[in-house]
Structure 1
């Protein structure tokens, strides 16, 4: 199943990037802040939205809005593309249903090997007692 998020559900803000960059960094707003309301999005199934909110971690606000900041590149366009790709990767990761764990029992042979190993170890330890001189 492929999830498509419409443009009108995404909100982009262009802000000034931090870090080195000379005069350019002080004049041009190249960093992108992509906001996506996970909780109210009609394009996400409920189970995917729950997993996405868990995956988002600290990038999720208290209102359920996912905020992705992209400022790796020097141009607005490349940062915008980067933010959207990161959102797509997060949604794709949230789409994957976790496999339910099936508890298994150890085999009889592995249990016997474990007990044999314990017996050997007990023998080694019991041989470490005090040395007695019977003269």
Structure 2
């Protein structure tokens, strides 16, 4: 059992950002590789959330399922509950990299019609972290 413990830590480290701020820093670092002056913006993150896009699901916005208030529970089109997006209301939000990337992957394709860029993800997380 003790021999497999280091492997367990390595596997866990690959998926856990630990905090929303740590995840944000990962996205910012990725963007700054090509744009050293990049600074995430609350306004761009909120605009991405509220804008109606022509995605794969037709015209949609993130707010259509997540509600206009990211501190509140949302609903899928199948009426399943969605935990609040804002870390202030849902402390588990943006703490698991694999889970976050899975949902960005699905939702960006459905709503925006393409993969979201690291800059868009950084802006989005910046906005949600700012909500109290």
Q: TM-score range by the shorter chain?
A: under 0.3
The structure with the largest strand share of the pair is 1
The structure with the largest helix share of the pair is 2
Bigger CA radius of gyration: 1
Per the normalisation by structure 1, the TM-score is 0.25
Per the normalisation by structure 2, the TM-score is 0.26
